[in-house]
């Protein structure tokens, strides 16, 4: 009797479950709405309305523009300013483009530019840029005065924080309510951290885009991005893992781009504490890394080994005389012996009974932990024992800023603004944002001189010398360059990856068959 009742119950439950599931499935199919944009981009980076807070996405999508842009040679180029002139050591004048309107119909003029720039200059992002005053001279001229002679000014004005917003975009309290720029695309709808829908700006002063609308979507997971592209839910998937390149290239209907970007993976040493306070030990650690093996195997040959901060393939600021893979185990052994760290082959070296063992911090991002493990292997081969500790990014930065590390392995954009003055943030004794504690008077002098000079050849000479010195001193050991993997549907025409990723070049893109 009990059994009988249980069986009927089961049947009813089964029926209910089936019906319920079917209803859910049907509604799931119906809810799969078309998101109607011509061109859909999937990327891991979360967009924000305010250019001062992660403004790269809105710039790349062509919503905002600055006075200065970046051309395909990674140099400052005219954007909203047609021209600029260094009138004296500290005085600059920017001539603005006429007949430009913001997306809200407001006219772009010197007053609007000064208002927007003043907000940027007062922000923490521009704290280290010695701008004294930004003033409107007339309708189409903006004058900028710097506190010290400062050659990289145009490069700084090309930064994503220095884009010009419409006066109506900014509230009285200084917060951005709407992203209203001057670019070829205007914001249609904006969900911070998830998606942006943009529409073509038909009044654009330059090349009016072929695409009518673009949808930018945050897709965190690499595999999901790839699958969405393969399923035709995206036209462009950005930042894919290196190991997907072969598979994607053999997939029909997909084009793969692997542009080098000005970014390096490097090991930063704490030069104030043992054992990396000794230049010979730092140099030895750098020479013990077989960069070629790392790039050939782990990075599938898509990335070049690097020893300097700039890649010669991207910018002429790179010192072309640096050897890209200075792997030399014999010299490592000599250097370590000279520094007093001795030991038999295969064992960890010691000095006065202390083992030469260090800790490398890194964070859980793409290939960093994997490369760190290979370096661990390479250093063990010359008698340096390494513990690799993979932390969360913020946890790593905490420890780094407390200076409680031997070395940490990270990646860093070297042309965040297209000027080699960025080297000061790597190597200058007081201006460096990398807490390695390194200081070299000659390097400081060269960097300070080059920052003030106007003449390109004179600057080039100084920056090349800096790059040679720091390879020997090794406050950081650069390990590899960086390559982005971008895949698009193969009916996408006209996409050209930008060297500093300052924009996606959407205005030049068209779709076949339209």
Partner 1 sequence: MSKSTPELVPSNVGLGGLCRRYRRFALQTNTAIRLGGGVIWLLVLVALVGPVVSPYDPTTQVLEMRLRGPSLAHPLGTDALGRDVATRLAYGARVSLALALAATLVRLVLGTAVGLLAATGGRLVDVLLMRLVDVQLAFPGLVLALVIAGVLGPSLRNVVIALSIVGWASYARVVRGTVLSIKARPFVQSATLYGTPWHRLVKRHLLPHVVNPVIVLATLNLGTVVLAAAGLSYLGLGAQPPTAEWGSMIADGRNYMRSAPWLVTAPGVAIMATVIGFNLLGDGLRDRLDPDHLNDRQRRRT
CA-CA distance, 140 to 96, in Å (whole number)?
A: 5
User: What DSSP string runs through 99-144?
Assistant: S-B-TTSPBP-HHHHHHHHHHHHTSGGGTTS-EEEEEEEETTEEEE
Q: Tell the smallest beta-carbon distance from residue 237 to partner 1 (Å).
A: 14
Give whichever of 196 and 256 is closer to partner 1, judged by the CB atom. Answer: 256
Nearest to 276 by CA among 399, 165, 436: 436
Q: Tell the smallest beta-carbon distance from residue 333 to partner 1 (Å).
A: 21
Give whichever of 126 and 482 is closer to partner 1, judged by the CB atom. Answer: 482
Order of strands across the sheet that contains 195-200: 185-191, 195-200, 213-218, 39-43, 236-237, 486-489, 254-257
Give whichever of 214 and 240 is closer to partner 1, judged by the CB atom. Answer: 240
Nearest to 487 by CA among 42, 24, 83: 42
CA-CA distance, 70 to 499, in Å (whole number)?
A: 9
| Residues that bind partner 1 in the complex, under the rule CB under 8 A | 2, 222-223, 241, 243-244, 247, 293, 297-298, 364, 366, 369-370, 372-374, 376-377, 387-392
Give whichever of 389 and 493 is closer to partner 1, judged by the CB atom. Answer: 389
CA-CA distance, 405 to 399, in Å (whole number)?
A: 7
CA-CA distance, 133 to 353, in Å (whole number)?
A: 59
**Strand pairing class (385-391; 357-363):** parallel
Q: Tell the smallest beta-carbon distance from residue 13 to partner 1 (Å).
A: 17
Give whichever of 3 and 455 is closer to partner 1, judged by the CB atom. Answer: 3
Q: Tell the smallest beta-carbon distance from residue 462 to partner 1 (Å).
A: 39
Q: Which two tokens stand for residue 299?
A: 């990075």
Q: Tell the smallest beta-carbon distance from residue 10 to partner 1 (Å).
A: 15
For residue 362, the surrounding DSSP H or E stretch is strand 357-363
DSSP E strands in 123-223: the ranges are: 131-138, 141-146, 185-191, 195-200, 213-218
Q: Cβ contacts of residue 490 below 8 Å, gap of 6+?
A: 252, 253, 254, 255
Q: Which two tokens stand for residue 80?
A: 């909203």
Q: Residue 480 in contact with residue 264, Cβ under 8 Å? A: yes
Nearest to 74 by CA among 466, 458, 502: 502
Q: Tell the smallest beta-carbon distance from residue 48 to partner 1 (Å).
A: 27
Give whichever of 293 and 350 is closer to partner 1, judged by the CB atom. Answer: 293
CA-CA distance, 264 to 256, in Å (whole number)?
A: 22
Q: Tell the smallest beta-carbon distance from residue 246 to partner 1 (Å).
A: 9
Give whichever of 138 and 387 is closer to partner 1, judged by the CB atom. Answer: 387
Longest dimension (CA), the chain: 102
Distance of CA 128 to the CA centre of its chain: 19
Q: Tell the smallest beta-carbon distance from residue 366 to partner 1 (Å).
A: 8
Q: Tell the smallest beta-carbon distance from residue 495 to partner 1 (Å).
A: 25
Give whichever of 142 and 299 is closer to partner 1, judged by the CB atom. Answer: 299
Give whichever of 128 and 377 is closer to partner 1, judged by the CB atom. Answer: 377
Give whichever of 86 and 366 is closer to partner 1, judged by the CB atom. Answer: 366
Q: Tell the smallest beta-carbon distance from residue 397 to partner 1 (Å).
A: 15
């Amino acid at each position: 009797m009990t059994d009988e009742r249980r069986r009927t119950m089961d049947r009813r439950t089964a029926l209910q479950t089936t019906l319920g599931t079917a209803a859910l499935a049907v509604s799931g199919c119906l809810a799969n709405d078309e998101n109607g944009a011509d061109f859909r981009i999937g990327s891991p980076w979360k967009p924000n309305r305010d250019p001062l807070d992660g403004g790269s996405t809105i710039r790349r999508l062509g919503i905002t523009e600055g006075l200065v842009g970046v051309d395909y040679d990674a140099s400052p180029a005219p954007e909203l300013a047609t021209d600029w002139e260094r009138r004296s050591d500290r005085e600059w004048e920017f001539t603005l483009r006429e007949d430009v309107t913001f997306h809200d119909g407001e006219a772009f003029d010197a007053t609007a530019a000064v208002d927007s720039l003043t907000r940027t200059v007062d922000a923490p992002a521009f704290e280290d840029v010695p701008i004294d005053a930004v003033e409107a001279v007339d309708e189409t001229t903006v004058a900028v005065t710097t506190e010290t002679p400062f050659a990289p000014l145009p490069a700084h004005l090309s930064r994503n924080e220095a884009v010009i917003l419409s006066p109506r975009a900014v509230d009285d309290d200084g917060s951005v309510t709407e992203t209203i720029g001057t670019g070829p695309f205007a914001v249609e709808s904006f969900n911070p951290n998830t998606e942006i829908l943009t529409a073509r700006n038909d009044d654009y002063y330059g090349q009016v885009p072929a695409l009518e609308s673009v949808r930018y979507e945050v897709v965190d997971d690499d595999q999901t991005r790839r699958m969405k592209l393969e399923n035709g839910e995206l036209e462009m998937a950005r930042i894919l893992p290196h190991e997907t390149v072969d598979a994607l290239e053999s997939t029909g209907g997909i084009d793969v781009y692997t542009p080098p970007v000005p970014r390096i993976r490097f090991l930063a040493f704490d030069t104030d504490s043992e054992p990396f306070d000794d230049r010979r030990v730092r140099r030895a650690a750098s020479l013990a890394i077989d960069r070629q093996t790392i790039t050939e195997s782990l990075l599938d040959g898509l990335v070049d080994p690097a020893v300097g901060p700039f890649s010669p393939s991207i910018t002429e600021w790179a010192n072309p005389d640096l050897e890209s893979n200075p792997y030399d185990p014999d010299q490592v052994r000599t250097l370590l012996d000279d520094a007093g760290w001795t030991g038999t082959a295969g064992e960890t070296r010691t000095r006065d009974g202390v083992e030469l063992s260090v800790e490398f911090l890194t964070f859980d991002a793409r290939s960093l932990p994997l490369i760190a493990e290979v370096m661990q292997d390479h250093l063990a081969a010359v008698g340096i024992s390494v513990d690799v500790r993979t932390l969360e990014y913020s946890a790593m930065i905490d420890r780094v800023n407390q200076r409680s590390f031997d070395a940490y392995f990270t990646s860093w954009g070297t042309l965040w603004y297209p000027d080699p003055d960025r080297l000061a943030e790597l190597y200058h004794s007081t201006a460096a944002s990398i807490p390695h504690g390194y200081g070299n008077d000659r390097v400081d002098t060269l960097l300070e001189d080059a920052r003030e000079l106007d003449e390109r050849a004179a600057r080039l000479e100084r920056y090349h010398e800096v790059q040679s010195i720091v390879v020997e001193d090794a406050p950081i050991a650069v390990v590899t360059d960086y390559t982005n993997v971008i895949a698009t549907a193969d009916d996408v025409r006209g996409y050209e990856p930008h060297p500093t990723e300052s924009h996606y070049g959407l205005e030049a893109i068209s779709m076949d068959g339209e």
